[in-house]
């Protein structure tokens, strides 16, 4: 019984000594949670839950396994896409495409097409496309 009383007394002393520390920890935790709330972390997490829900309802387990098998090449592609020169090119292409009026695309005769192809900007565009296609047809290790 003395051992139990000593343990109880030690526990009581520990709690008395540690309670200010626990109080400070709880206050710090509440402050941090309040900061997260003000910054919108909890709203973000709720919406992220909706993203996960969409993934779960739209993809099978096999789809996720394939994703897991290919996540490294996908991230390498994303990494390449986020390079400044690539982003600039993609942004430029999107802007040009958005300015095109699909309903009002002019018709070109064969002769008009040949005249257009003799212009310097068309020659550069054709050169770019030919170079691009040649590089695409090479094995992967030669492109790097």
Look at phi and psi of residue 83 and say left if phi exceeds 0, alpha if psi is from -120 to 50, else beta. beta
Q: Which pLDDT score is estimated for 88?
A: 93
Per DSSP, the three-state class of 138 is coil
Per DSSP, the three-state class of 102 is helix
Residues 116, 107: Cα–Cα separation, whole Å: 12
Task: Give me the residue spans of the domains in the chain.
Answer: 2-102, 106-144
Q: Which pLDDT score is estimated for 55?
A: 86
Q: Which pLDDT score is estimated for 2?
A: 82
- DSSP summary character for residue 100: -
Q: Is the dihedral of CA 58, 62, 68, 74 positive or negative?
A: negative
| Biggest CA-to-CA distance, the chain | 109
- All residues at 6 or more sequence positions from 87 whose CB lies less than 8 Å from its CB, including other chains: 81
Q: Which pLDDT score is estimated for 143?
A: 52
- C-beta separation of 87 from 81 below 8 A: yes
Q: The whole model's pTM is what? A: 0.46
Q: Which pLDDT score is estimated for 5?
A: 87
- C-beta separation of 66 from 59 below 8 A: no
pLDDT along the chain (144 residues), means of 10: 86 91 95 96 93 91 92 92 91 90 86 94 94 88 54
Write down the H helix ranges in the chain: 2-39, 41-58, 61-81, 84-99, 110-117, 120-137, 140-143
């Amino acid at each position: 019984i003395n051992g139990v009383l000593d343990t109880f007394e030690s526990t009581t002393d520990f709690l008395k000594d540690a309670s200010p520390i626990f109080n400070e920890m709880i206050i710090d935790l509440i402050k941090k949670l309040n900061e997260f709330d003000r910054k919108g972390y909890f709203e973000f997490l709720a919406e992220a839950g909706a993203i996960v829900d969409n993934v779960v309802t739209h993809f099978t387990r096999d789809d996720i396994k394939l994703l897991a098998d290919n996540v490294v090449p996908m991230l390498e592609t994303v990494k390449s896409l986020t390079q400044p020169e690539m982003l600039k090119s993609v942004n430029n292409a999107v802007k040009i495409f958005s300015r095109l009026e699909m309903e009002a695309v002019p018709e070109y005769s064969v002769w008009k097409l040949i005249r257009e192809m003799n212009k310097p900007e068309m020659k550069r565009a054709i050169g770019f496309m030919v170079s691009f296609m040649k590089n695409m047809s090479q094995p992967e290790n030669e492109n790097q």
